[in-house]
Structure 1
């Protein structure tokens, strides 16, 4: 596996992640690691005929999660090379099928893309959790969810006031919580006493329109190797369920 780090950061996390992946999987195309300065764009993978590109912010590349983030993106690349249905399906096509003729808020449409990414992430993390410890990932999920809950909008309770502060959107936070629980349960990583469950239940309470348990089941029960039509139908059903929830 050929990894080429472009930028003034230590290559060790990226090379270490590559070594982990190679214990069970391999990539036929080389990987260019492109360091970005925008801290809000954490990581994403791009695929080209002659290479893959791991785009990662400098902040993420120098964090304690660097190896885990790199391994996650390498797993996406492996799924792409396998031509797994989750990584071949056009998100735009699925959203068109799911939402044709429906009026959907812009924020919910944005969230539907995030949900589609969660479904891809399930399949990528089926690889990463098969070859690497899950401790950091579980802690990361808990920290991210706790941060979103702390940043949730707060309504002004004074009589006649309709003011609400900006913050994390409770509905997508609940879906994110469902995704986190689905992944850890899919791989039997924690027991019911873990704080992630308390955080997820709090997220669900903040978003009564989102059926957290149902979304968890949808993510958790994704088939290992669905056909293209099976995966398309699942993605359409999930995004429609979220976009039309009231």
Structure 2
């Protein structure tokens, strides 16, 4: 992998993540790492014709999750280069197909974009969790879900976003479904793990959103869907979340 490290940041998290990824996958385009000084900078991957860019705050890069966050974003890059439908399907197109003729609250439209990002994360983390242990990710998911349920959204830059400003109960319920799906898809927890209690609390706070249905939908995403199959899954989940919009 052609990994281009910045002069103003640590190297180990990115080198370690690259070594892990290359045991199971590959990235052909160069990867530029940009370390931002803003502690609230979200960790994200940008894709261009001649390179990928991994954006991360210094705080995140030097945290205990630094390698895992970097690996997560590298996994997104690998999926992008594989032309996986999850990383090329237009979310706006799916929203149009799902909601044509309906009036939908602005907040719910924003939530649909987060739902689509969760679907991308499922496929990225199928790679991530094939090359790295999941203990840190489970702790992360549990902590973020606990913060959201308690209405105390954390100010932490992450690759997996599980909280929104104000911890809206409806999207928190979707996030709970995503968290359950990810840990169950990879057999990361036992049935009595605390994350189930947190998901139950999230479900109680949003009776109009089925945590169980979203968990099942995320968990059962096909490993290798066609473009049509993936688009249908995204459209179906969008309709499930928006529900009876007029």
- Assess, with a 3 A threshold, how the Cα gap between structure 1 residues 207 and 7 changes in structure 2: closer, same or farther: farther
- Assess, with a 3 A threshold, how the Cα gap between structure 1 residues 82 and 99 changes in structure 2: closer, same or farther: same
**CA root-mean-square deviation:** 1.5
1:181 and 2:180 correspond: yes
Gaps of 5+ in 1: 154-165
Q: Deviations over 1:88-110 (max 9, x none)?
A: 10111111111111111111110
1:171 and 2:187 correspond: no
| 1:84-123 correspondence runs (5 A) | 84-123=84-123
Gaps of 5+ in 2: 154-164
1:134 and 2:134 correspond: yes
Deviation at 1:78, TM superposition (A): 0.5
SS at match of 2:10: coil
SS at match of 1:239: helix
SS at match of 1:49: coil
| 8 Å Cα contact 1:209/1:245 also seen in 2 | no
Q: Deviations over 1:99-158 (max 9, x none)?
A: 1111111111100000000000000000011110000000000000111111169xxxxx
Deviation at 1:233, TM superposition (A): 0.7
1:70 and 2:70 correspond: yes
Distance 1:124 1:30 in 2: 18
* Partner of residue 198, structure 2: 199
| 8 Å Cα contact 1:174/1:212 also seen in 2 | yes
- Assess, with a 3 A threshold, how the Cα gap between structure 1 residues 110 and 116 changes in structure 2: closer, same or farther: same
Distance 1:7 1:242 in 2: 44
Deviation at 1:245, TM superposition (A): 5.3
- Assess, with a 3 A threshold, how the Cα gap between structure 1 residues 241 and 41 changes in structure 2: closer, same or farther: farther
| 8 Å Cα contact 1:7/1:35 also seen in 2 | no
Number of positions where the alignment pairs a residue of Structure 1 with one of Structure 2: 234
| 8 Å Cα contact 1:152/1:170 also seen in 2 | no
* Partner of residue 143, structure 1: 143
SS at match of 1:118: helix
Which stretch of structure 1 is more off in the superposition, 1-10 or 200-209? 1-10
The two structures have a TM-score, normalised by structure 2, of 0.91
Which stretch of structure 1 is more off in the superposition, 2-11 or 140-149? 2-11
Deviation at 1:5, TM superposition (A): 2.0
Which stretch of structure 1 is more off in the superposition, 34-43 or 232-241? 34-43
